[in-house]
Amino acid sequence: MMQLCDSYSQKYSLLNAMNRFIGAVNNMDQTVMVPSLLRDVPLLLEELDAAGAVCPQREAPLPTASPGAYFSRRDMYSHYVLLKSIRNDIEWGVVQPPPPAADEAARKKDKLGGGPAEEGEAEEDLEQQFHYHLSGLHTVLSKLTRKANVLTNRYKQEIGFGSWGQ
């Protein structure tokens, strides 16, 4: 029988990254017994840095802020809800809305021969896109895992049990 988690080459697999994230969120969920205690408790700057987020200026408007700004502008409760939501999306899938009419027209154009000039170019492009998105997904999952662990540890500190299982 093949062992999935023991191999060094599988250390960086997407499945292991997803399992680490889900495990961290499950641990967070089991630790946080009263989520409402997380309201209005901001994460400290050093905790954001440890979680891999960049903390931009608070005055910056939200649409132009960096992705790290999402986490830096929210209290711990918002982080908690977001991490659980992402876990649910990974476990249960994301319901995608039906494509708009513009997307359908583009697909019909590709089917009728208006697509890429050569089949090989399309396959190479798909492979590059796959590796790009796989790498990005792995990076995002690693950052989200750290955020879940930071939130769990901060909750323990807030309720006075900072030495639990660390």
Let me know if residue 110 belongs to a domain: no
Residue 26 covered by a domain: yes
pLDDT in tens, 86-96: 999 999 998 87
Q: Would you say residue 116 lies in a domain?
A: no
- The count of other CB atoms within 10 Å of the CB of residue 22 is 18
- The first and second tokens of residue 32, run together, are 């946080």
Evaluate whether residue 72 is within a structural domain.
yes
Residue span of the structural domain in which 31 resides: 10-95+122-158
The answer to whether residue 106 is domain-embedded is no
Give pLDDT tens digits for 20-65.
999 999 999 999 999 988 887 776 655 656 555 544 433 333 344 4
Can you tell me the distance from the alpha carbon of 40 to that of 58, in angstroms, rounded to the nearest whole number? 16
Identify whether 75 is part of a domain.
yes
pLDDT of 136 reads: 96
**Residue 151 belongs to a domain:** yes
In a domain, 114, yes or no: no
Residue 74 has pLDDT above 90, yes or no: no
The mean per-residue pLDDT over the stretch 126-149 comes to 95
Model pTM score: 0.65
Q: Would you state the pLDDT for residue 50? A: 57
Q: Cα-flanking dihedrals φ and ψ of residue 75, to 5°?
A: -85, 175
Q: How many domains does the chain have?
A: 1
Contacts of residue 156, defined as CB under 8 A and 6 or more positions apart, other chains included, come to 31, 162, 163, 164, 166
